[in-house]
Amino acid sequence: MKSSPANRSRDIERQAGYLRPEHCTPPPPRSNSPHDMWFIRDGCGIVCGVITWMLVFYAEFVVVFVMLLPAKNLAYSIFNGVVFNGLAFLALASHFRAMCTDPGAVPKGNATKEFIESLQLKPGQVVYKCPKCCSIKPDRAHHCSVCKRCIKKMDHHCPWVNNCVGENNQKYFVLFTMYIALISLHALMMVALHFVFCFEEDWAKCSSFSPPATVILLILLSFEGLLFLIFTSVMFGTQVHSICNDETGIEQLKKEERRWAKRSKWMNMKVVFGHPLSLSWLSPFARPDHGKANLYQYVV
């Protein structure tokens, strides 16, 4: 692929002969298999992650104990209880998978003499080394200062999931934003219905809590729902747009020159969510088959 070194001068990257592998310690013996547990020890990220779970639990509490259990219509309560709790479970499962999946970290410290020799570079061929984590940087990888690693197709570091969003966990992140947007919308609709029904009835019969406590709990839930509905649906739209165009958030920000093969929007979706289209696209438990989808990359 053609590119002039001047275009790539943003990072400190040198030709093979100047990589100075002697400055890199050999990589740790631990393998980087996708089955290994991945967790970033970042205080801010851990606090944001815990807050996310607590906000979902607060919404669960208000929906179940303030609105659904005291409601007189059993079918209404069961239907909405199943839908809301199912979506909340999928949101938390997606959050957990986004947080604990290796986003596509490049092996740390692999810029050793042996590794560079094993690449059998042709004269004039350029490889890039990250000066911060001493790794040979694949195309489209970026260094994250929170994860302290280079991440393949890094989109951004998200403190709410305490992880980078990259090649291997973008599906879980998109599902997380989608399920949070859906439970926010569902909660807002239930709060609106609750106010409509309870204004006609006696408030004391409408909730097992006192009327002022009920109103405060519902107003707090409405604020939370509205805030997160706006935030996560904008994030969801941005993510789907960047997946369709196969351009990460960082590449858009840096206005990087496009050096990778162009695929159809549909094929770009398959690369992230797996091939072929199935219900597993919506499941945070199904690992997308990136390899298979990549095989179809030239099919338009």
Catalytic residue positions?
158
Pairing mode, if any, of strands 135-137 and 128-130? antiparallel
Report, in Å, the least distance between residue 103 CB and Zn ion.
7
Nearer to Zn ion, 94 or 207 (CB): 94
Decide whether 157 or 275 has the Cβ nearer to Zn ion: 157
Cα Dmax for the chain: 83
Q: Tell me how far CA of residue 146 lies from CA of 132, 135, 156, 159, 160, in angstroms.
A: 12, 16, 11, 9, 13
The candidate with the shortest Cα–Cα distance to 55, out of 84, 92, 80, is 92
Min dist CB 43 to Zn ion, Å, is: 14
For Zn ion, the closer of residues 10 and 122 by Cβ is: 10
Contact of 153 with 248, CB cutoff 8 Å: yes
Shortest distance in whole angstroms from residue 53 CB to Zn ion: 20
CA distance 35 to 89: 22
CB of 33 vs Zn ion, minimal distance in Å: 20
Residue ranges with strand state E in the chain = 128-130, 135-137, 141-144, 149-152, 156-158, 163-165
Distance between CA atoms of residues 250 and 153, nearest Å: 9
Residues 105/32, Cβ–Cβ less than 8 Å: yes
* Interacting residues with Zn ion (CB under 5 A): 130, 132-133, 143-144, 146-147, 150, 157, 164
Nearer to Zn ion, 130 or 174 (CB): 130
